[in-house]
Structures are given as structure tokens and as C-alpha cells.
Amino acid sequence: QKEVEQNSGPLSVPEGAIASLNCTYSDRGSQSFFWYRQYSGKSPELIMFIYSNGDKEDGRFTAQLNKASQYVSLLIRDSQPSDSATYLCAVRRGNTPLVFGKGTRLSVIA
Amino acid sequence: ETGVTQSPTHLIKTRGQQVTLRCSSQSGHNTVSWYQQALGQGPQFIFQYYREEENGRGNFPPRFSGLQFPNYSSELNVNALELDDSALYLCASSQGGAGVDTQYFGPGTRLTVL
């Protein structure tokens, strides 16, 4: 059973702080890793993807991947109240379907 | 905005009825995937269509079926609705083929089964 695990939260951070969201996965053959943001009542919105070990930065967001540890994380710098949402981690082997975690709820306190 | 559209936005049905949900993929995308997202859960893969053929299916019963049309739009049909079918149904489109195939979600259809 391929699994993706995320802490459900809520993770509360003050405005301007760094939010760190973590995800572990069970399938060692996973090749691509995605972070989606989902506001309440809305559909998931792609933030970024990563498929090589190391860091990938896009604006205030940094994805980090460690395949040896089967661990992927998302850092949000200078967190804003508008970042308050559920963050979904999804992994994939080749072009097989995305396997999602249950998501981590982030609350940024003004 | 991803360019993926879904209809209807909301739907209320009673147990035992049948429902059809529709999805139009983003321009240039030939692959459509359907997901079910129950409250408080991550999306669960139902099936995927690539160039009008089903090419992957998750752990859902046969009463969940689908179609993809020549313009790559897609339908999800659910027969004999059960209370547990109440969920947000998401359609995602992608380009398919080799490489990192990024999926973009439509706004979803909220189905309530009474």
C-alpha cells in the first residue's frame, strides 16, 4: 500500500515567520513530488513540484526533497494570513496516479 | 485559473439515484484524471483517461464509470448512489506522455447524497 503521511495540524505560525510543512512517503520508487494548496471549499492549486534531491525555490516557497529518507518538505517564508490553507503533498512513480496525503492545515496568525 | 472547468458546481441526489459529472480539460491537455475527496481527506484517485481510453483505475467499484470524448472532455458517472459517495469530485487535466506530468485541477463538483 503506497502511503503519504502528513501531520494534519493545525500548524499555527505568526505572520512573517517561516512555516515548515513535512511529508513522508512509503514508495521508494516515487519519482515526482508535488505540493498543492487547498483553501476551504475550493480545489487544490499546484504550488510547485520537485523531482531531484535538494532544494527548489519559487518566490516565498522552497520545496526540499530527500529520497534516501523518503521525505519532502515545503517551507513558506514570510508567511501571510492569506497562506492559511490546507497543504497537500502528493507523490508519483512515473506516470502512475498521484497519491495524496491527507494534508496539513496551516494557520497564519496576524 | 487552470483552464479546467467542471459542471455542475453543486449537486444534491438521493440514495440509489445516478449522477453524471462533467469536465473540460485545459487546452492542449489530452489526459483527464478523476478524484474523490471526502471531508478532511486527501483526494483519492478514481480513474484516468488518456486519448479516450481508460488507462488506470483506483480502488472504486464498477458503479463508478467514465468516458472521454474526442475533444478530451470527460464525464464521470456514478450509479446506485450511496451516502458515502458524498464528496468533492475533482477533475485534473494534464499533457500526458513522458516526463513530469503535472496535473491541474478544476474547481470541483460538490455532491451530496441524502
pLDDT at A55: 96
Mean pLDDT of B34-58: 93
What is the C-alpha radius of gyration for chain A, rounded to an integer number of angstroms? 13
Candidates B9, B41, B90, B100, partner chain A, best to mutate (most A CBs within 10 A) = B100
Does residue B55 surpass a pLDDT of 90?
A: no
pLDDT digits (tens, 9 = 90+) for B12-31: 999 999 999 999 998 888 89
Residues 5-44 of B with CB under 8 A from A: 33, 35, 40-44
Residue A69 is predicted with a pLDDT of: 95
pLDDT of residue A1: 63
- Cβ contact (<8 Å) for B40 and A102? yes
- Stronger pLDDT, B94 or A109, i.e. the higher one: A109
CB pair distance less than 8 Å for B106 and A43:
yes
Mark yes or no for CB contact B43/A96 under 8 Å: no
Region B84-90: mean pLDDT is 97
Sequential DSSP letters for B28-85: T--EEEEEEE-TTS--EEEEEEETTEEEEE-S--TTEEEEE-TTS-EEEEE-S--GGG
What are the pLDDT tens digits along chain A (110 aa)?
669 999 988 999 999 999 999 999 999 999 999 999 999 999 999 999 999 999 999 999 999 999 999 999 999 999 999 999 999 999 998 878 899 999 999 999 99
- What is the b/e burial string over B51-81, where b = at least 16 CB atoms within 10 angstroms of the residue's CB? eeeeeeebebeeebbbebeeebbbbbebeeb
Using the beta-carbon criterion (under 8 Å), do B43 and A95 form an inter-chain contact? no
Residue B99 scores a pLDDT above 70 = no
Q: Which of A30-34, A101-105, B81-85, B101-105 has the lowest mean pLDDT?
A: B101-105
Sign of the Cα pseudo-torsion (A24, A30, A32, A34, in order): negative
**Cβ A98 vs Cβ A91: under 8 Å:** yes
Residue from B30, B90, B94, B101 whose CB has the most chain A CBs within 10 Å, to mutate: B101
Predicted pLDDT at B100? 57
B42-70: average pLDDT? 93
Q: How far is CA B75 from the centre of its chain?
A: 7
In contact, B20 and B69? CB cutoff 8 Å = no
Least confident of A80-84, B4-8, B23-27, B32-36: B23-27
Which residues from A are below 8 Å from B107, CB to CB? Answer: 42-43
Task: Flag whether pLDDT at B65 surpasses 60.
Answer: yes
Q: Which residues of B touch A45 (CB under 8 A)?
A: 2, 105
Task: Work out the mean pLDDT of chain A and round it to a whole number.
Answer: 94
The Cβ-side half-sphere exposure at A78, using a 13 Å CA radius, reads 3
- The partner residue sitting opposite B42, judged by closest CB among A88, A95, A96, is A88
CA distances from A34 to A91, B6, B25, B102 (A): 6, 22, 20, 9
Helices (H), A2-101: none
Partner-chain residue, chosen from B45, B96, B100, that has the shortest CB–CB distance to A97 = B45
Residue B97 confidence class, pLDDT cut points 50, 70, 90: low
Identity of residue B80: A
Give alpha helix (H) positions in A1-110. Answer: none
